[in-house]
Amino acid sequence: MTDTIKLDARIPSGPIEQGWDKARFEMKLVNPANKRRHTVLVVGSGLAGASASASLGELGYNVKCFCFQDSPRRAHSIAAQGGINAAKNYPNDGDSVYRLFYDTVKGGDFRAREANVYRLAQNSVHIIDQCVAQGVPFAREYGGLLENRSFGGTQVSRTFYARGQTGQQLLLGAYQALERQVDAGTVTMYPRSEMLDLIVIDGQARGIVVRNLVTGELSVHLADAVILATGGYGNVYYLSTNAKGSNATAIWRAYKRGALFANPCFTQIHPTCIPVSGEYQSKLTLMSESLRNDGRIWVPKQHGDKRPPNEIPEEDRDYYLERRYPSFGNLVPRDVASRNAKAICDQGLGVGETGLGVYLDLSEAIDRFGIETIRERYGNLFDMYQRITDEDPYETPMRIYPAIHYTMGGLWVDYQLQSTVPGLFVLGEANFSDHGSNRLGASAMMQGLSDGYFIIPYTIGDYLATAKPAKVTPSHPEAQAALASTRRGIEKLLGIKGKRSADSFHRELGRIIWDCCGMSRSAAGLKEAIDRIRTLREEFWQNLMVPGWSSDLNQPLERAGRVADFLELGELMCIDALDRNESCGGHFREEYQTPDGEPQRDDEHYSHVAAWAYTGPDNPPELSKEPLQFNYVHPSQRSYK
């Protein structure tokens, strides 16, 4: 069975430039006096969750915000380094809202929804204004005006940044706005609280089941609408640039309650990370893509050239990105840069002990601009590299290798950011909407903040004014059923008493998915991965060891629940990758490539969003398709040559 659920994206009719204005005018409003009578739950406190909580609190809604960390300021948005795009065109270099829109649709390899992307580009300019006003210390020119830099996949300078800590500063801006609302009494913060289930009553999302991570107590929180802003699922790969705590539990359990999961196989491998060094390794560290602005990527031309990089003369170096893509050079989009790094290492030309690495060389930039300028631009990144590798990047080129970094897939949402469950809204990386099959650099933060500051405040009002949710109490059978099933799930994990830790299963799962559903995928590999994941999942439920008690702070228990969900999500990713018989963006199927090794899209059959519905524990998921229409940016073979 296919196409059983009709997906209505609710895209406004008429010219794309006027779509958002038109939609906003048509939306119903909630009377200011009535707003405080509406309770809204926000799960997650990153850029999307904090900005949504703050903005809804400012409007007067009664907001409850949940995060699993000890403080909302810890959310992983904090680790974003490079910057945030905005179509301000301050540098006068030809940028415009339309160009940002065009670049993002093209960069996403024509698998994003045009209307959403256009709105994102429009909102980008307001985000910068908002953040400057909040006191985000963006980099400045000597004249006092905002400075810009360029980023992969674009030929204009539109990226605003705060040293290498842009995410930290934007998140602290949103966090401070959130704390201001906590002070004002409109937002109640629930730190160390993890959402474990979604409560759906009469077809509407009405609440969540939450575990207090200190006392272990389970509680029901009811509301008129639920917002998930819980980030991506990159940790399914175990080793990723995500924070250790980042997980898919909230969106996965919402999927099991009826929300469709869109394009799960669209994952982004970031080209510039510090290579893996050993089995004990717990995570990978990103070196901001902004380094590619001033850095040149190369490998030795000859196999087995073991000379230190500084002793390899120019003529023995292969600047393979500049060679293959003369017009974009080192600034090709992430998927292209990653794939080329893998290809060159697969040919045996990689550097470092493992042979899985390429050089990112800033020595020319150091000569050109002076060491002080480079220190100012990238000092904290260089320090971080040195701390981890014990090598000095001011003296010797850095070694980098691709690593999983971001997931474009996520819960399906319409133009209003509402999932297929009415009253359940999904923001930021947790939804699928704006990046197609590849995200351009400096656009994740743009999307999180656009969703939270400038979209949800309108669309949630329209929902509340239209749906008029009835009053419910925690004694409602659906709420009690969700609570009871969550409790059973926890007891089941604690009761297995096997021999392996959740982490050891997680590591094994990660290796399967990295090998078969990572930088390149094939039908045979994906089928094998699905079998192996099923076997691993069976072992998990028989041989897991979770020590301790449910009524305590119990970190192994928290992890076990998240790994159980990754074990299911990993399979859905492979099913989706197997169904998409084309290559696009980060999804590279070996069977579908051009003669020179570039991804070969199939617009005739796959110009759609693949949205999967849960049909029960032993049934295969059901596919629905949202066809994509490109009225403005016409699909072409993406070329960066």
Partner 1 sequence: MKLKLTIWRQRNPAAKGKFVSYPINDVNPDMSMLECLDVLNESLIERGKEPVAFEHDCREGICGSCGFMISGVAHGPLPATTVCQLTMRHFKDGDELVLEPWRSASFPFVKDLIVDRRAFDRIIQSGGYISVSTGSAPDGNTLPVSKEVADRAMDAAACIGCGACVAACPNGSAALFTGAKIAHLAILPQGKPEQDRRAVRMVAQMHTEGFGSCTNIGECTGVCPKKIPLETIAVMNRDYLRGRWRERQAPVTTIAPVTNWDFEKTERVP
Joined tokens for residue 76: 């992983």
Which residues ranging from 267 to 326 are in contact with partner 1 (CB under 8 A)?
Answer: 277-278, 280-283, 285-286
Residue 110 makes contact with partner 1 by CB under 8 A: no
Q: Cβ closer to partner 1: 85 or 169?
A: 169
Residue 27 makes contact with partner 1 by CB under 8 A: no
Which residues ranging from 381 to 400 are in contact with partner 1 (CB under 8 A)?
Answer: 383-384, 387-388, 390
Write down the H helix ranges in 45-93: 47-59
Which residues ranging from 191 to 210 are in contact with partner 1 (CB under 8 A)?
Answer: 191-193
Catalytic residue among 73, 111, 334, 601: 334
Exposure on the CB side of residue 176, measured as CA atoms within 13 A: 12
Which residues ranging from 525 to 564 are in contact with partner 1 (CB under 8 A)?
Answer: 545-548, 552-553, 555-556
Cα separation, 282 vs 75, whole angstroms: 18
CA distances from 365 to 260, 319, 322, 395, 397 (A): 47, 15, 16, 12, 12
CB 194 to partner 1: min, Å: 13
CB 362 to partner 1: min, Å: 20
Q: Which of 40, 97, 128, 628 binds partner 1 (CB under 8 A)?
A: 128
- Report how many residues bind partner 1 under the rule CB under 8 A: 91
Q: Cβ closer to partner 1: 25 or 142?
A: 142
CA distances from 538 to 254, 280, 355, 567 (A): 23, 25, 35, 10
CB 243 to partner 1: min, Å: 4
212 SS3 class? strand
Q: Cβ closer to partner 1: 215 or 639?
A: 215
Q: Cβ closer to partner 1: 58 or 322?
A: 58
Q: Cβ closer to partner 1: 192 or 257?
A: 192
Residue 338 makes contact with partner 1 by CB under 8 A: no
**Interface mask toward partner 1 for 228-257; x: CB under 8 A:** ---------------xxx------------
Q: Cβ closer to partner 1: 193 or 420?
A: 193
Q: What backbone torsions phi and psi does residue 407 show, to the nearest 5 degrees?
A: -120, 120
Amino acid 528 reads: E
CA distances from 404 to 28, 185, 295, 445, 630 (A): 41, 39, 21, 17, 29
DSSP character at residue 76 = G
CB 627 to partner 1: min, Å: 34
Pseudo-torsion of CA 571, 504, 590, 597, nearest 10°?
Answer: 140
Residue 73 makes contact with partner 1 by CB under 8 A: yes
DSSP codes of every residue in 549-603: -TTS--HHHHHHHHHHHHHHHHHHHHHHHHH--S-BTTB-BTTSB-TTS-B---H
Cα separation, 606 vs 518, whole angstroms: 20
Catalytic residue list contains 334 = yes
Cα separation, 485 vs 38, whole angstroms: 27
CB 553 to partner 1: min, Å: 5
Among the candidate windows 182-190, 250-258, 333-341, 422-430, which touches partner 1 by CB under 8 A? 182-190
Residue 130 makes contact with partner 1 by CB under 8 A: yes
CB 222 to partner 1: min, Å: 15
CB 414 to partner 1: min, Å: 22
The per-residue b/e assignment along 123-142, b for 16 or more CB within 10 angstroms, e otherwise, is bbeebbebbeebebebbeee
**Interface mask toward partner 1 for 433-472; x: CB under 8 A:** --------------------xx--x---------------
Residue 42 pairs in a beta bridge with 65, 227
Q: Cβ closer to partner 1: 105 or 171?
A: 171
Cα separation, 29 vs 320, whole angstroms: 55
Among the candidate windows 200-208, 436-444, 474-482, 501-509, which touches partner 1 by CB under 8 A? 501-509
Residues near 358 by beta carbon (within 8 Å), at least 6 away in sequence = 297, 298, 299, 341, 344, 345, 350, 351, 399, 400, 401
CB 59 to partner 1: min, Å: 9
Q: Cβ closer to partner 1: 182 or 467?
A: 182
Q: Cβ closer to partner 1: 169 or 438?
A: 169
Q: Cβ closer to partner 1: 329 or 352?
A: 352
Cα separation, 410 vs 433, whole angstroms: 8
Exposure on the CB side of residue 77, measured as CA atoms within 13 A: 35
Which residues ranging from 88 to 107 are in contact with partner 1 (CB under 8 A)?
Answer: 88, 90
Q: What backbone torsions phi and psi does residue 183 show, to the nearest 5 degrees?
A: -60, -40
Which residues ranging from 467 to 496 are in contact with partner 1 (CB under 8 A)?
Answer: none
**If we measure between CA atoms, which residue out of 267, 77, 89, 30 comes closest to residue 171?**
77
Residue 25 makes contact with partner 1 by CB under 8 A: no
Residue 11 makes contact with partner 1 by CB under 8 A: no
**Interface mask toward partner 1 for 132-171; x: CB under 8 A:** xxxx-xxxxxxxxxx---------------xx-x-xxx--
CB 216 to partner 1: min, Å: 10
Q: Are 412 and 8 in contact (CB under 8 A)?
A: no
Residue 123 makes contact with partner 1 by CB under 8 A: no
Which residues ranging from 46 to 65 are in contact with partner 1 (CB under 8 A)?
Answer: 51, 54-55, 58
Q: Cβ closer to partner 1: 151 or 454?
A: 454
Terminal CA-to-CA distance of the chain, rounded, Å?
Answer: 42
Residue 79 makes contact with partner 1 by CB under 8 A: yes
Q: Which of 91, 99, 212, 528 binds partner 1 (CB under 8 A)?
A: 212
CB 593 to partner 1: min, Å: 34
Write down the H helix ranges in 517-554: 523-543
Which pairs from 301-304 meet CB under 8 Å and 24+ separation? 301/349, 303/348, 303/349
Q: Which residue numbers are catalytic?
A: 334
